[in-house]
Structure 1
Amino acid sequence: MRKNDLETAAISAADRLERLPICNYHRFLFMVIALAFFFDNLDLAMMAYLLGSIKTEFGLTTAQAGMLGSASFVGMALGAVSSGMLADKFGRKPIFQISMIIWGLASFLCSTAQDPVSLAIYRVLLGIGMGMELPLAQTLLSEFIPAKQRGKYLALMDGNWPIAFICAGLMSYYVLASYSWRTMFMLGAIPAVFLFVVRRYVPESPRWLESKGRHAEAAQIVGGIENEVQRILKVDSLPPITQTAMMRDQGSFGLKVLWSPIYRRRTLTVWGLWFFALLGFYGLNTWIGALLQQSGLEVTKSVLYTVYIACGGIPGFLWAAWVVERWGRKPACISTLVGGAVMVFIYGWVASSAHTFVALVSAGAMMQFFMFGMWAVLYTYTPELYPTRARASGCGMASTVGRLGSLLGPTIVGVILPLVGQIGVFTVGAGCFVIAAFIVYRFGIETRGLSLEEISEIKIRKH
């Protein structure tokens, strides 16, 4: 490295990574992390299709079923807050791998549950593993992809969520026709073996290593990445390093950073966004299959309807991946939330009335278009808002607060459904999205096109 290749290793790692052309190395790394993210989401999505069958087998009331549906979110809140702090202290990669072991084991245990209490306990454990993995995936990927395409890749990674939702529905449709919901959980445990692929091909984040003073290790990893990029592109040299004005990654780490004067407002903004967005999303989606069954559809048909509706999420996240780079993070976030609120209300009106199959699926697909697009923007926006020394903690705490909303959502729906009916439930969900959109409009900042270090520097100047 040249002598003035930069004053600190934190600057050199960031600038060396930022100047790399996007190539098959980045795409392969994206594919590995995104697949782990997909398998995690597959387990998470299953409950939307299995809750109706579990409720029937155990003879649960709607309130009890709602509490069971919320059990995994208790674990996700615990997992998200602990994984963020642990990853900022011990590294992204080892905690990412531990999370995969936990959710794989817990999914298998769910398949052995013989009563609702044991199933709830296993769902909490499953939630811990999922809560650990989801924010780490966005943190790890954000620290490797250059700023010019970071938003697109993070949004595409979250596109695994609607695809996982659809795959879980298709699996449920065929499995429930011949087997029980326990078989679904057993199948969900198998992808945990993907751990070995992550262990082999995903390196530790150089940005994190240098934030901990491990400069030689960071330099070795960045050098290996540069050599691999040169080999793939078949070039003898890479673009020159452009040193940008960057904040030195020194001082406090983890949770202390989130409440420092520089980041306090940003933290409160992100927490409000995640809480209300997830309260609305999971309150509706955990119950969507059971609500269709309550309307008179048989189990397998309600599962198939839910799959059809979820298909709207695929163009939704693809659209979001485009607009986060074209419009910016704030406009993309606000538009998906407001669009989701409108379509949630329309779907609730259609679902509560005697409308045709086409009307139900069309309204539902448009609802999922915006809601899954919202997810893509959330996972793009959040890791960009914090410095390396607190990025995993920031993502983890945002996810934790969101999981509190996730926890309340299914339970609230189970309680208010007998009182206000389906249209009342969807009206509450729409209101949650409107509140989240207002929070972003009033307090959010724009991060499009800036390196992670530049975002921190700009924030300092504003304060």
Structure 2
Amino acid sequence: MPRINIVDVVNEGKFNRFHIGLLICCCIIITFDMFDLVIYSSVIPILMKEWSISTVQAGVMGSYGIFGMMIGAILFGILADKFGRKNILILCVVLFSVFTFLCAFAPGPTTFSLFRFIAGVGIGGVLPNVIALMTDYAPKHMHNMMVSIVMCCFSVGGILAGLIGIYFIPHLGWKSVYWVAALPILLIPFMVKYFHDSPAILLVKGRLDELRLVLTKVNKKVTLAPDVEFEPISVSEKDSGSPVAALFQNRRAQGTVMIWIAFFMCLLMINGVTTWLPNLMLNAGYALGSSLRFMIVFNVGAIIGTLIFGSLADKFGVKKVLVPMFIVSAISMTFLGFKNDVLLLYVIVAITGACTMGAQNISYSFVSQYYPSLMRSTAIGFASGIGRIGGIVGPTFGGYLFTLNLSAQMNFVSFAIPGIIAAIAFSFVPLKLAFENKMIKKPA
């Protein structure tokens, strides 16, 4: 009896109800993942007054969630590759939902910060596992598009947080926005029943009945008899040692280091710009109202760019799309420092959002395809964790620029430089090994 290659079965599948259900559920999870992170900004003024805390204390309270995300991304990425993505993802959803909900009952800043930290650990652990899960089961021709759709839900979560804050806080008080955070718990029964670990993990752990079941869901054209044999996981998928060490084995060291540099620089640029864009535009001579509208246009551009370039990445290859995106992001950001017609400026801001946040979103898809399944969550978790460090540095970097009293042009050029570095780093990520292992489709 011929052996079945599980990767080929998944890649050759057609988008169907299984993928739709997985996509919708992951979109909801990511939406609330972001909601739980950013809702804090809506209640800061109220908490400062109610608990008599300073702006510095409020900033420290906010940072606990970010540090929790760093830890969660790395920790749960490693654990998912060892114990399976399904249970780890469920645990992450429980953590960020329950402990964000408990923030409503915190008696003071200390308890509130502790709850935010634990919730942050769960929030950080969600992303590497959702992206890895999407990549595990997406048809080959839709890898980047499915991940791009999920990543757009970060922006949806931010918008939802703003709307909930606007309508709930005046009528029900600040605690009401944290009650909403408990809603993802309703997804747990669905996840328990319908989610599966990656095919590679099911095969390695000998859960063959479940593997046959999920492969027939993914690819309706496949009929698997009870005695069917599966091709074993290749040597490259089972590198010796831990999945962390495997990131640097089998000719992956250069790619791993370059990916980490790119993620650090990209999130430094994004977090710095999104934090300081209104101030930067004010400094460039625009009114405050226009500056805030630029921020909205920036995020809309990010959503549109992620979807468009995600589709192009499926067609032409991720790396061929990513490197030009980072270069264009640096160029467009440089043009923001010059006084332009308002309509033209909106276009430039939208392009900047599309090619900065859009590139970052697609970068996650690239990482998920670059590494074999048995180390995929670990790889995404570490890239995300390293990126979060850049995300923390970004706002501080922007604040430092303002102390130098530079011109508007130089401020934007300073934020454009990390984009160039990210482009250079991604250009040095070797794809030969990924081609050999059929992780990334080789261009014709």
Measured against the shorter chain, the TM-score band is 0.7 to 0.9
Aligned equivalent of 2:2? 4
User: Contact (CA 8 Å) 2:134, 2:147: kept in 1 or not?
Assistant: yes
Percentage of pairs with the same residue: 23
Q: What is the SS of the residue equivalent to 2:237?
A: coil
Change (3 A) 1:89 1:46: same
Change (3 A) 1:339 1:123: farther
Could you tell me how far 1:177 is from its partner in structure 2? 5.5
Change (3 A) 1:196 1:149: same
Could you tell me how far 1:242 is from its partner in structure 2? 12
- 2:20 is the counterpart of 1:27: yes
Change (3 A) 1:176 1:70: same
Aligned equivalent of 1:372? 357
Q: 2:379 aligns with which of 384, 389, 394?
A: 394
Moved more, 169-178 or 318-327: 169-178
Q: What is the SS of the residue equivalent to 2:65?
A: helix
User: Contact (CA 8 Å) 1:71, 1:407: kept in 2 or not?
Assistant: no
Q: What is the SS of the residue equivalent to 1:454?
A: coil
Moved more, 133-142 or 41-50: 41-50
User: Contact (CA 8 Å) 1:383, 1:391: kept in 2 or not?
Assistant: yes
- 2:243 is the counterpart of 1:254: yes
- TM-score computed with the length of structure 2 as normaliser: 0.82
- 2:182 is the counterpart of 1:197: no
Q: CA RMSD in A?
A: 3.9
Q: 1:186 aligns with which of 163, 176, 179?
A: 179
Could you tell me how far 1:89 is from its partner in structure 2? 1.2
Corresponding letter in the other structure for 1:434: I
Q: 1:41 aligns with which of 26, 34, 43?
A: 34
- TM-score computed with the length of structure 1 as normaliser: 0.79
Q: 1:282 aligns with which of 267, 271, 289?
A: 271
Moved more, 70-79 or 406-415: 406-415
Aligned equivalent of 1:327? 316
Q: 1:438 aligns with which of 424, 431, 436?
A: 424
Listed as ranges, the gaps of 5+ residues in structure 2 are: none
Moved more, 241-250 or 164-173: 241-250
Corresponding letter in the other structure for 1:26: H
Change (3 A) 1:370 1:51: farther
> Distance in 1 between the 2:222 and 2:73 partners?
42
Could you tell me how far 1:446 is from its partner in structure 2? 7.5
**Higher RCO (C-alpha under 8 Å, 6+ residues apart):** 1
Change (3 A) 1:446 1:261: closer
Could you tell me how far 1:365 is from its partner in structure 2? 3.1
> Distance in 1 between the 2:412 and 2:172 partners?
32
Could you tell me how far 1:303 is from its partner in structure 2? 7.1
Equivalent runs, 1:2-401 vs 2, <5 Å: 3-6=1-4, 12-46=5-39, 60-61=54-55, 67-112=60-105, 118-175=111-168, 182-210=175-203, 213-215=204-206, 217=207, 219-228=208-217, 247=235, 249-252=237-240, 253-288=242-277, 297=288, 306-347=295-336, 362-401=347-386
Listed as ranges, the gaps of 5+ residues in structure 1 are: 7-11, 459-463
> Distance in 1 between the 2:300 and 2:45 partners?
21
> Distance in 1 between the 2:86 and 2:67 partners?
24
User: Contact (CA 8 Å) 1:170, 1:307: kept in 2 or not?
Assistant: no
Change (3 A) 1:376 1:308: same
Deviation string 1:336-378 (CA, Å, 9 cap, x unpaired) is: 222222333444666xx9x96x677554433322223113311
